[in-house]
Amino acid sequence: MSEPSKQTHAIVRAVVDYGGLGLFVLAYFAKLRFLAAPASALHFTLAIGGAGPRDLTGATWWLVIGSALSLLIGLVVERRLAPMPMIAGGFALVFGTLTLVFHNPEFIKIKPTASNLAFSIALFAGLWLKRNPLGWLLGDALPLPDEAWRKLTLRYALFFLGMAVLNEIIRRTQSNDVWVLFRMPGLIVLAVVFSLTQVPFMMKYLHSAEAPPPPTE
């Protein structure tokens, strides 16, 4: 594969993983919205800022649209979707739609709890059934022995469970501003740091010290 193709793949993967969420955070803090503009050919104009309060429900429009477009771009360019971005994007669309239909931002704030809990349950179930769902979720199977996969699966299951609990604590005790920052970049930073801490464990079984891809929630 040529270098430009690798760069394109990396850009597309970043868009799929974080495009919708990035638009959500930008829309919330920059107060992005469309206002009626009769003089405009499109009859609407994009407004930034303003004196009104930040609107979590309004920002969810950008999350839903951005997530749908990001998944579509990934499907068109790569002709496939990695399991975790596909599942995370599905959760964003479902909980985002519930937020918009019921005009209740608590739905979008519950989304990280639900998705992380679902990942955790799936991994615990995989351990119980003696399967390897972690390799499927991460998208790229690593040449690890069964014992290593079991230990790594348990660690990720506990990590996802911890993120679900942490999101509940943040959303119940902190302001919307704090929760949005926790959502991004907070959860992403925690995921990357956790993945990096697994490198020494994998070095026992791999010749490479490459970290597993961080879970995209």
pLDDT band at 49 (very low <50, low <70, confident <90, very high): confident
**Amino acid 153: pLDDT:** 92
Task: For residue range 64-79, list pLDDT tens digits in order.
Answer: 999 999 989 888 887 8
pTM: 0.86
**Amino acid 188: pLDDT:** 94
- Percent of the chain scored above 90 by pLDDT? 55
What six digits make up the tokens of 102? 């019921």
Mean pLDDT: which of 99-108, 195-204, 207-216 is highest?
Answer: 99-108
* Domain range annotation of the chain: 3-203
- Percent of the chain scored above 70 by pLDDT? 88
Task: For residue range 186-208, list pLDDT tens digits in order.
Answer: 999 999 999 999 988 888 877 55
**Amino acid 68: pLDDT:** 93
**Residue 163 CB-density burial (10 A; 0-12 exposed, 13-18 middle, 19+ buried):** buried
Answer whether residue 100 shows pLDDT above 70. yes
pLDDT band at 213 (very low <50, low <70, confident <90, very high): low
Nearest to 88, CA basis, from 156, 139, 16: 16
Answer whether residue 140 shows pLDDT above 70. no
- Report H helices in the chain: 3-30, 56-78, 83-102, 106-128, 133-138, 146-173, 176-181, 187-197, 199-203
Return d(Cα 19, Cα 12) in angstroms, integer. Answer: 9
**Amino acid 5: pLDDT:** 64
